[in-house]
Copies of this chain bind each other. A is one copy, B any other.
Amino acid sequence: MKKPILALLACCAMLPALAQREDSLAIRRLSDEIMTHSQAYANLRVLTKTIGGRLAGSPQMVKAERWGEAALRAAGADRVFTQECKVPHWVRGDKEQARIVSNRRDFVPPLKVLALGNSVGTGAAGVTAPVLEVRSFEELEQLKDQVKGKIVFYNYPFNPTFIKTFYSYGDAVRFRAQGPSRASKYGALAVIVRSMSHSTDNEPHTGSTRYNDSFPKIAAVAIGLQDADRLSRRIADDPSAKVFLRTTCRMLPDTIGHNIIGELKGSEFPDEYVTVGGHLDSWDVCEGAHDDGAGCVQSIELLRAFRAAGIRPKRTLRVVLFANEENGVRGGNKYADEAKEKGEKHLFALESDAGGFTPRGFIMEMTDAQRAKVKSWAPLFFPYGLYDFDEAGGGVDVTPLNRRLGTPVAELSPDSQRYFDYHHAASDTFEAVNKRELELGAVGMAALIYLVDKYGL
């Protein structure tokens, strides 16, 4: 394309004209501020490149907490404080080993795997066993008599036909979550899970598993897509093929983590809160740029932009960098518990935790009337490319506020096509984030916070 597009945006009219004009100008001010002077990208570079992966309980978690406090102060928060909570402390141990062993003695490259979060290790000697491949839990049940002494390989493909990729994830994630215990029930020694991704590379994608305490805990790894296909072909073709697997991960006793909180005091109702945030932890094997460095730096940016644009919220705006979303949600639960305990009034909470991609709308957990109110603001969002307000859901870290206090909650809904290329994999790096896409997400969030703070919900 080389010719400029000459037409101007046609802006629909639904709100009372004057109010809409004023709101439209305020949002434009926030947008111009963010698109011109944003610190989000620079902040993300520091968080990802100088701290990196920051799983709960790791030394990097502590560094990230210090970084978060400093970044919130630099953004102009009136007050920065921390909220202590217990966090799980899972460690990966040695680099995972996995390879096909066979009587054929041909050369086969190692399999690229990552232990699942919260999983137990194989023991230092590793385990070698034949592999039973299944594509569903139904198939596992049919073959249950063959499971004993084997490594069960869940090779369920990520469905490419869902347009919103979170549906593919919702469809496939049960194998990671329940797969190990369901195989252990029938005597499996370990589990290999096809990564929840449709990327074109071979990176394995980790993520938490959940053991059922009724069955022995067994080792579990995710495998890259190309290696999943290679393994599948090999065991179909070579009856002597087995897999050697060695992981030394383990769960240590709980340790201490913190939610990092920065406030911009409300001008009219300082005791009412509007929360916006992301989670500060990430998996250990990546830089956690999209998941969820992006959400953290967007939330911090939003506070900076309100200040820089001279827009003081009526309610107190709280930016929360939540602890330990990935393998415990302890930060999100702590925040809601304390809010309830103290009888705080929370008007609304918004999270960004679906990647730093161009925003398309919000998923929301709220009453129909509240949703209708948000949708009445649609014309104000349209110039920024946000149009999708119909889906249910809310960020993992703000959902406890909804459950405990009934607070309406939402999550930024960015374009989802690339998210599962990077999600929980080594490829989730700073370089995978586009500066403008990240900033536009912050614009969408700022617009929603501005409107909710002004008009209530």
Contact = CB atoms under 8 A, between A and B. Distances in A.
A255 interface: no
Contacts of A326: 2
A384 B207 CA distance: 28
Given A434-B417, A434-B421, A161 B5 contact: no
A173 interface: yes
Nearest to A327: B2
A356 to B, nearest CB: 11
A166 interface: yes
Which of A292, A388, A390: most chain B CB closer than 10 A?
A390
B415 A436 contact: no
A411 interface: yes
A358 B392 CA distance: 22
B392 A5 contact: yes
A6 interface: yes
A52 to B, nearest CB: 20
Contacts of A171: 4
B417 A4 contact: no
A163 B31 contact: yes
A67 interface: no
B1 A411 contact: yes
Interface string A334-355: 0000000000000000000111
B417 A437 contact: yes
Contacts of A393: 3, 5-7
A440 interface: yes
Which of A36, A385, A411: most chain B CB closer than 10 A?
A385
B385 A163 contact: yes
B169 A4 contact: yes
Given A7-B391, A417-B440, A434-B417, A1 B198 contact: no
A200 interface: yes
Interface string A186-229: 00000000000010100000011000000000000000000000
Contacts of A87: none
Interface in A385-436: 385, 387-388, 390-393, 395-396, 399, 411, 415, 417-419, 421, 434-436
B392 A166 contact: no
B161 A4 contact: no
A108 interface: no
A244 to B, nearest CB: 30
B2 A207 contact: yes
Interface of A: 1-7, 9-10, 31-32, 35-36, 41, 160-161, 163-167, 169-171, 173, 198, 200, 207-208, 291-292, 325-326, 353-355, 358, 360, 363, 383-385, 387-388, 390-393, 395-396, 399, 411, 415, 417-419, 421, 434-437, 440
19 contacts: A1-B419, A3-B396, A3-B399, A4-B169, A5-B170, A6-B170, A6-B392, A7-B391, A9-B164, A10-B390, A35-B160, A41-B200, A163-B384, A358-B358, A358-B417, A385-B388, A387-B388, A415-B415, A417-B434
